[in-house]
Amino acid sequence: MKKWSWWVLAVALLALGILVGYTIPRGAPGTPTGSGAGAQSRKWEPQSRVVAYVLPNDGPYYDLKWAGVSKELERLGYQPQKYTAAGYKNIKAQTDILENLIQKKVAGIILHSVSDTAVVPFVDRAYDAGIPVIAENVEISSDKVAGRVMLSNYQNGWELAMALTQAIHGKGKIAALVGPPGLETTDEMWKAAKEYFSRFAGIQIVREEYLQANTPEALERVQAILAAHPDISGIYTWYVQNGIGAAEAVRQAGIPAGRIPIVAKDTNAQGEQLVRDGYMTALLVGEPVAMGRTSARMLDAILKGQQTERHVLMRNYLVDRESIQNIDRSGFEAR
Amino acid sequence: MLPPVKRSELRWLLAHHWEIAIVLLAAGSAAFVRGYADGNNLRNLMAQSAPILLLAVGQTFVLLVRGIDLTQGALAGLASAVLVVLLNSMGAPGAVLAALVIAAGVGFANGFVISRMRVDPLIGTLAGMYVITGITMYWTGGTPVTRTSDGTLSFLNFIGSTSLGIVPVSFLIAVAFAVAAHVFLRRLMLGLRIYAVGSNPKAAASLGISRTVIFGVAYSASAVFTVLASLLLTARIRQGNPHLGEGLLFESIGAAVLGGVSLAGGSGGVWAAARGVIMLALIQNALYLTDLNSHVRDVAVGVMILAGVILARRSRTGEPQ
């Protein structure tokens, strides 16, 4: 077979595809369509028991949420499946996943989106295909979202700023490990934190570093910050893994525990130990397992047409060296 | 008793092992994976692979001259935001043309620096990647450009959501540019010179072929194809997103090399890149439609890619270049 014949074959297949395509009806048969206003009251007819949990990435926080989702879905008789986009902003990967899940006709999707806007066309398509989407953690700007389980990012940022301000007595230079650039969740947290800091004339933000959940990189950035600003008074971090990097940088620089207060969101064993050691000042602890569980229950109720709260705000609380022993671990039971 | 396989038939089989593998994979998936052969899924498959096809073809140009282009992902992000801003202000033809001209200029500068200053392509484009990412984030703050005029939206809808039958317009665009690239590389003097520089730089220089010009052309082509890929992705999500390029670079290089474009230069071509893209898309799509555990899925993709590369190497002797 000559080389050009492959091209002829390809063109022929393409033409065949176009021809065949005109004979295929648009949209899955029997799936209702309608405006987004009906997302709250719509009746759903799941075509399988598979529920997809779509995450931006892997990691401790996501693992905890998955533990909550998967255990609860299994208990409710569903078949949970996890999909990750392998990046906080990997839009193509996540939109491809959503497209494939619609094709797969899953019963429902619980979506921690990589973007509040980029996934909208795909969420709308899921709605049109009869698949309810629960937005978790990150708001999605579509009225076709069936339900929402959220954190108050603004309040989280505000509370972290409060804890740091209190620890540095309202004055001094601070640095921030803000979060991945353009990530709505962390941007909103940092916006709130900056608003809080701006109330204190003695607080000066000398560095804003944008980085993903990356402990070694956080360590290196804070080492550089310490070299440039030896008189730094406090460090804000968006996530415990980065807080650990910051605390390790302080420890490795030989700076006494507590001299540079560090605050972070979420918790893990290492973070808690650093709080006990005094290298981290406060952790804003959430309930990722309970969050996942809540999403699973909400989706189940929606699929069954039962009355349920469609917008749930999960709670977070601050813990420090004194209160860390008293963390309510009931939300972590499923792990 | 079956008749013995003739030598010529065996050679043909070896030479076309890729095409045979693609047909077998597609047929196997259609037979065993629910929903795979569905028209909607084929449409998804084509729409998802169209931007990667363009990126892989662009990457092929630079791989052919023994280069590599690490700026593709970063440029795709910048181009996405720029395209939507330009589309809002000057309409589709002007915006696309302007973006392509700018891309060609950036690409040529890339190639010029690498060739004339004797900078290693890996390092040169790594530096370019940082510069472009920095500019993008400084300009946009990482925030997507979601404000679109009616004209912009209808243009993006046409490219991103319209199909002719089951063939998405985005796929037709990608195929058209891929065919143009194939003709350019195999039929035009400039394209043949790209192969000459990649195969034997010293011999090419002795024939008076300018390495600087050829590198400039190769990197321009890569940048232009990146902007086209960015346009297709932007149309899919109907917004300019500075993060659009995340994860694309490895898919682009991976697909081209998987299909048989040599990292050592001078070998492979558009069809090689295309079959790598097809192979990756078929594998990923089929696995996503199954109920495999997500981590097992990743392992399966990795193993299949590795198997493909090893098979390709073993039978390279019979493969047409």
Q: Is the pLDDT of residue A94 over 70?
A: yes
Confidence label for B197 from pLDDT (cuts 50, 70 and 90): very high
Question: What confidence tens digit (pLDDT) does each residue in A204-234 have?
Answer: 999 999 988 888 889 988 998 998 899 999 9
Low-confidence winner among A162-176, A310-324, B13-27, B303-317 (lowest mean pLDDT): B303-317
- B38 phi/psi in degrees, rounded to 5: -65, 145
Mean pLDDT of chain A: 86
Q: Is the ipTM of this complex over 0.90?
A: no
Listing DSSP states for A11-34 in one string gives HHHHHHHHHHHTTSPSS-TT----
Q: Which domains does chain B have, with CATH numbers?
A: 7-317 (1.10.3470)
Mean pLDDT value of segment A180-190: 87
In the numeric block, the tokens 């779509």 are attached to A54
Dist CA A140 CA A39 (whole Å): 14
Judge whether residue A185 has pLDDT over 70.
yes
Q: Which of A81, A87, A182 lies at the smallest CB-CB distance from B142? A: A182
pTM of this structure? 0.80
**Chain A contact present for B154, CB below 8 A:** no
Helical residues (DSSP H) of chain B, grouped into ranges:
7-15, 17-32, 39-64, 72-90, 92-116, 121-140, 150-161, 169-187, 189-199, 201-206, 211-237, 248-259, 270-289, 294-314
- The predicted model gives B216-225 an average pLDDT of 97
Position A11 scores a pLDDT of 63
Lowest mean pLDDT among A8-17, A155-164, B149-158: A8-17
Q: Kindly give, in sequence order, each residue whose CB lies less than 8 Å from that of residue A54, ignoring residues fewer than 6 positions away.
A: A83, A84, A85, A94, A97, A98, A101, A109, A110, A111, A112, A113
What's the token pair of residue A23?
Answer: 């004979």
Instruction: Check residue A4 and give its pLDDT.
Output: 58
Q: Is the pLDDT reported for residue B319 higher than 60?
A: no
* Structure confidence by residue, pLDDT tens digits, B55-113: 999 999 999 999 999 999 999 999 999 999 999 999 899 999 999 999 999 899 999 99
Residue from the list A28, A89, A97 with its beta carbon closest to the beta carbon of B288: A97
Q: Answer whether A119 touches B (CB < 8 Å).
A: yes
Q: In this predicted model, which residue has the larger pLDDT, B217 or A5? A: B217
User: Where does the pLDDT of residue B317 fall: very low under 50, low under 70, confident under 90, or very high at 90 and above?
Assistant: very low
Instruction: Give pLDDT, residue A213.
Output: 81
Range in A238-247, B127-136, B236-245 the model is least confident about:
B236-245
Residue where the block lists tokens 């665009």: B173
**Cα distance from A73 to chain B (closest Cα, Å)?**
15
Whether B236 and A121 lie within 8 Å, measured CB to CB: yes
* A320 has a pLDDT exceeding 70: yes
From B117's Cα to the closest Cα of chain A, the distance in A is: 32
Domains of chain A with bracketed CATH: 37-151+287-315 (3.40.50.2300), 153-285 (3.40.50.2300)
First CA to last CA distance, chain A: 58
Residues of B in contact with A17 (CB under 8 A): 42, 46, 165-167
Residue B154, token pair as written in the block: 């209808």
Task: Answer whether residue B162 shows pLDDT above 50.
Answer: yes
B9 lies within 8 A of chain A by CB: no
pLDDT confidence of residue A329 = 66
Q: Does A50 touch chain B (CB under 8 A)?
A: yes
Q: Is the pLDDT of residue A333 over 70?
A: no
Torsion sign over Cα B248, B252, B257, B258: positive
The CA distance from A321 to the nearest CA of chain B, in Å, is 36
**Cβ contact A257:A277 at 8 Å:** yes
| Host H or E run for residue A50 | strand A50-55
Indicate the range of A114-123, A169-178, B70-79, B285-294 predicted with least confidence.
B285-294
Looking at residue A330, its pLDDT comes to 63
Helix, coil or strand: residue B121: helix
User: How many CB atoms within 10 Å of residue B286?
Assistant: 23
Asked if the model's pLDDT at residue B119 lies above 60, the reply is: yes
Selection from A287, A257, A259, A288 nearest residue A274 by Cα: A257
Please list every residue in chain B whose beta carbon sits closer than 8 Å to the beta carbon of residue A24: 39-40, 165-166
- Per-residue pLDDT at B137 exceeds 70: yes
How far, CA to CA in Å, does B105 sit from each of A43, B44, B100, B224?
54, 33, 9, 9
Q: Between B298 and B194, where is the model more confident? A: B194
Q: Where are the beta strands (DSSP E) in A203-332?
A: 203-209, 232-237, 262-265, 282-285, 311-314, 317-319
Retrieve residue B142's tokens.
Answer: 């990482």
3-state SS class at A204: strand
Partner residue facing B243 (CB), from A28, A91, A103: A91
Say yes or no: B141 contacts chain A, CB-CB below 8 A.
yes
Q: A274-311, pLDDT tens digit by residue?
A: 999 999 999 999 888 999 999 999 999 999 999 899 99
Q: How far apart are CA A194 and CA A198, in angstroms?
A: 6
**Angstrom distance (rounded) from CA B262 to CA B198:** 10
Tens of pLDDT along A113-130?
A: 998 889 999 999 999 999
Q: What is the pLDDT of residue A50?
A: 95
Residue B35 has pLDDT above 90, yes or no: no
Residue with the two structure tokens 């997500």: B294
Mutate to test the interface with B, among A16, A55, A91, A141 (most CBs of B within 10 A): A91
**Which pair of structure tokens corresponds to residue B128?**
């370019």
Question: What is the residue type of B2?
Answer: L
What is the mean predicted confidence (pLDDT) over A174-200? 92
Q: Which residue has the tokens 């399988």?
A: A48
